[in-house]
Amino acid sequence: MPRGKKRAVAEILRLLRDIQIEVGAGRTTPEACRDHGISVNSYYKWRNRFAGMTTSEALDAVQLRVEVSRLRKIVADQAVDLSVLREALKGKW
């Protein structure tokens, strides 16, 4: 997989599960990660983010992150609008 390519949540969960099974069978984490074509850093980052989640729970978490990002942008836009209106009311325009 090309560097920087994003993987689907279901694929990440499958990789985590496969690597966990291989490590439980006696392989080292770096060996298992290398066989699956990911770095050890990516494995640990994904494990911290998605540990113990089912596919549906992980997809819900991703959707929530997108929604929170969208709402933060809306709030930032409103804050700018309010700032402009306050300056206009003070006569600084």
Tens digits of pLDDT across the chain (93 residues): 455 678 888 899 999 999 999 999 999 999 999 999 999 999 999 999 888 888 888 889 889 999 999 999 999 999 999 999 888 888 755
Residue 2 sits in the same domain as residue 46: yes
Residue 39 sits in the same domain as residue 78: no
Residue 9 sits in the same domain as residue 41: yes
Print the domain residue range for 35.
1-52
pTM of model > 0.75: no
Residue 6 sits in the same domain as residue 44: yes
For the chain, the domain total comes to: 2
Residue 43 sits in the same domain as residue 65: no
The pLDDT of residue 58 is 84
Residue 12 sits in the same domain as residue 43: yes
DSSP-based three-state secondary structure for 65: helix
Contact 19, 33 (CB under 8 A): yes
**Nearest by Cα to 43 from 63, 27, 56:** 27
Length of the chain, in residues: 93
